[in-house]
Chains A and B, each alone.
Chain A
């Protein structure tokens, strides 16, 4: 009974301050220090998603240059436990393989959201998305994600994974610097991809 009254009082306090559905209020309500547990008023209010959360994979491209990060090395396809990734390597007009993919498919009806592809990708090209509101009325066509559907800008990634993004950028910057130092005697440093 006390719990009942307390929860209503808390609610009134929040409502009085106009804090209902606000993320800061949700953070208080969902913390382990609260008594009991509060209902998340989905869809108006959503549970905060931790950065590491993984749902379905997606691929990255640089929004300003249009450069796709995937080099079609195939590690994600090889490490994928249920083998749901298909990659076609791009070729130039002479049939020589290029370090990029021309087609990329992920069958989301097989994907088990384990996150291995993102974990082992050496180019930070494949990452796990946070978007879970994906239900639909059809699966045969819409659940096979092709390349255009998988590509999302790096800015989106930076937004959902701020810490990882910062760490990866830092790592990249350091590598670039090391490479620039090594290449210093040469007249021009190779242009960095993205």
Chain B
């Protein structure tokens, strides 16, 4: 078929317009008006002030656009404003979740008129790859009006600039007398949506009622489930490791027969004695399992399993896995282990939120990623999202009869929502947050002013929370008494989508976890799956993997330091230095993998593409000359800087034992003086062949974490030097590239040292083409457990710095 380029047919309107132009008499007055208008519009379009507001991965590209290489200032839009009241352009950059939607509309309300919205990337526009998720809004334009859409995932900085130019063109073409704002009168009403059992739009109340009562919709769609196809299963014999068998025998001797049994690779422990056994494992001098790596749960047809991974940090090695089985599916409950390992706190809350397993004795068992009042526990296998299509991907209806259907059209409310049968939006009241009220006092002479504690909310929209993160800070004066992190504003259902995906499909999704270090995330997932497949990676691929992972670590740490300084008040200049170097690393990633930040470069058994000579030369230039110079530059400017020292030393101290107890990882753990790095603790890939040191801090304060990051960049450069010199020629993939991978039945916990700490993937396979359970142990999420403790007694301004030193990325915290 040949595509003909048709000349666009002129519409009736255009023809009439031309006729009018030809016949009507244009007065000088009209011309003057037109001239004034064009000057006025030129002024408006060249002074757009965007709001400093980013949601997810796209926000990183937005920041790059504002940095020196793309320099959005050339368009008169350099003044990124932290407050919506000073901004008139909202760049919705990233996935919009239901939990984040009410704050976004509120921000939109607060922006100065006339205001414009640019929807950046696939997620903001239509839900993007996360569209099917239960907590994702399929298009921000369902709730607020959007002017310009920029396609791409993520759009490159130049694509965003093109979007900005499109907006300028739109403003240029506007006629002042016709604009709603200039004409006067109210702007169209945009109500703030409410979070109930699901998000609901106040404009839709009638439709919601009708839809719920007629009981059509997703509930009906669920019933039409087909019978399961018989699947070919790949089964490989699983050998129980000897230490696990020994440990099971020992526990049986201590606690009695049947308390602990070795099953596959794990220890199965009786739920009633869990706390005793765990205490024994922790306290016994030769075991001393003092570090809880990972805590998660699996929903099997007959029972739930809660899975724990523990180890001793001094000894290192593979973590020991033990699990508890809960057969009561209606009302599952296990004892909480927060007393023993405080690092279990958030992870247990996550299990309660997503899987609905109660933890007896947990100090604060509330939802953590979703909101209180949300209907259902989404990680259960019987939970179906509103946009539920089929149990597993690939969906049959895409081929060969795949007429495009918008999934919205199958839901009665045309949106990604579902409500319980008895839901009535009119009478529904949100559960109230209890806030202390300060009573007025009468002051008499000689009496001291009684200060009461009060609560300040930081986030979810705040310039220094590194994304959409919220902290509820209780203050006494300016001193922090208590701090509660509230997250989930970027919870985009990574795990639920991951369990529907085929094995390979998860690879590009892992890019979007810690979206500043996608190579490292790819690495972790590849390691975990290769563990189950038993694949041996060719030498050249191993080296390329290490090169990419270490470069990624350097740019990530550099950015971490840059933004830490940002948080300490050195607004944007240090971050600009970091972004400069990062651009060059991204150039390399783009050359090698095809994308700047969403590399999707690793495959099971190797990497996707070979490194060309050109790319190799580029890497050498970076590693031998450019990056060492940049690291030295940062060191020279910052390490002895007086302001830096004053703001960071002795701030946010996390003592060594507490760092271990809270299961912190990465620079936070090492900053507190624990010499533990997964690359040394349980060497993966070919890290055991390289010479490098693990830098540690002595005090455990913000400054030490900064120093650790700085030193780690130098160590990464050391590794890179060795890897580049040893880089052999040869294959880059173990086997032929397959689009469908079957993974043998079993489970694996694969982990790597990501720039933020231990990134783990807990995978359960049934032997088919899709994972049965896909859990991500995210270092950022677990590190936040210690945040409250670290901030106590400090001033509000320090909270920002302490958070900056943990250096979270919300894509990974909330997943």
Contact = CB atoms under 8 A, between A and B. Distances in A.
A158 B608 CA distance: 21
A119 interface: yes
Given A40-B158, A81-B508, A132 B587 contact: no
A63 B4 CA distance: 11
Interface string B390-409: 00011100111111100000
Interface stretch (B619-627, B677-685, B691-699): B619-627
Given A33-B625, A37-B580, A50-B590, A112 B598 contact: yes
B402 A54 contact: no
B318 interface: no
Given A113-B152, A132-B159, A36 B580 contact: yes
A111 B402 CA distance: 16
Nearest to B150: A135
Interface string A125-165: 00010001111111100011000100100000000000000
A138 to B, nearest CB: 7
Contacts of A63: 2
Given A40-B158, A54-B595, A139 B622 contact: no
B402 A105 contact: yes
B69 A52 contact: no
Nearest to B149: A139
A63 B166 CA distance: 32
Nearest to B158: A42
Given A56-B151, A116-B739, A32 B584 contact: yes
A119 B737 contact: yes
A56 B505 CA distance: 17
Interface string B127-145: 1111110000001010000
Given A72-B400, A81-B129, A112-B508, A33 B3 contact: no
A115 B595 CA distance: 10
Interface string A73-95: 01101111111011111000000
B393 A83 contact: yes
A143 B149 contact: yes
B402 A112 contact: no
B600 A114 contact: yes
Given A32-B625, A55-B152, A112-B153, A74 B126 contact: no
A148 B3 contact: yes
Interface in B721-739: 737, 739
Contacts of B590: 50, 52-53
A85 B395 CA distance: 10
Contacts of A38: 69
Contacts of B580: 36-37
B690 interface: no
B321 interface: no
B128 A85 contact: no
A97 interface: yes
A50 B494 CA distance: 30
Contact of A81 (B125, B509, B625, B626): B509
Nearest to A135: B163
Nearest to A33: B621
Interface string A19-61: 0000000000011110011111111001100101111100001
Nearest to B582: A37
A144 B404 contact: yes
A61 B618 CA distance: 35
B105 interface: no
A52 B593 contact: yes
Interface string B145-161: 00111111101101101
A50 B618 CA distance: 13
B607 interface: no
B151 A134 contact: yes
Contacts of A137: 147-149, 166, 170
B591 A111 contact: no
Contacts of B261: none
Contact of B125 (A30, A31, A66, A139): A139
A86 B69 contact: no
A138 B170 CA distance: 12
Contact of B398 (A42, A85, A114, A151): A85
A39 B161 CA distance: 13
A150 B469 CA distance: 39
A110 interface: yes
A74 B642 CA distance: 62
B592 A139 contact: no
B594 interface: yes
B251 to A, nearest CB: 42
A39 B158 CA distance: 12
B394 A43 contact: no
Nearest to B65: A42
A138 B149 contact: yes
A132 B398 contact: no
B374 interface: no
B401 A88 contact: yes
B162 interface: yes
B739 A50 contact: no
A87 B400 contact: yes
B159 A135 contact: yes
Residue of A38, A54, A97 ringed by the most chain B CB atoms within 10 A: A54
A124 interface: no
B229 interface: no
B92 to A, nearest CB: 13
Nearest to A47: B158
A115 B594 contact: yes
Contacts of B270: none
A42 B122 contact: no
Q: Which of A30, A47, A138 has the most CB of B within 10 A?
A: A47
Given A119-B608, A120-B737, A32 B618 contact: yes
B70 interface: yes
Contacts of A138: 149
B559 to A, nearest CB: 15
Interface string B483-512: 000000000000000000110111111000
| Most interface-central of A42, A61, A77, A78 (chain B CB within 10 A) | A42
B594 A54 contact: yes
A52 B609 contact: yes
B165 interface: yes
Contact of B155 (A37, A109, A132): A132
B546 to A, nearest CB: 20
B398 A74 contact: yes
A107 B166 contact: no
B1 interface: yes
B739 A32 contact: no
Given A53-B594, A108-B151, A109-B127, A39 B156 contact: no
B583 interface: yes
What are the nearest 9 A-B pairs in CB distance? Answer: A109-B126, A86-B402, A74-B399, A114-B508, A89-B400, A81-B505, A135-B163, A112-B129, A82-B129
23 contacts: A37-B584, A52-B594, A54-B594, A61-B3, A72-B399, A78-B399, A78-B739, A79-B504, A81-B129, A85-B398, A86-B403, A87-B399, A88-B402, A108-B151, A110-B122, A116-B504, A133-B162, A135-B148, A135-B150, A137-B166, A137-B170, A144-B404, A148-B3
Interface of A: 30-33, 36-43, 46-47, 50, 52-56, 61, 63, 66, 68, 72, 74-75, 77-83, 85-89, 97, 103, 105, 107-116, 119-120, 128, 132-139, 143-144, 148, 151
Interface of B: 1-3, 68-71, 74, 119, 122, 125-132, 139, 141, 147-153, 155-156, 158-159, 161-163, 165-166, 170, 393-395, 398-404, 501-502, 504-509, 580, 583-584, 587, 590-595, 598, 600, 608-609, 618, 621-622, 625-626, 737, 739-740
Given A46-B158, A105-B404, A109-B131, 6 more contacts: A81-B508, A87-B402, A115-B594, A133-B159, A133-B162, A135-B150
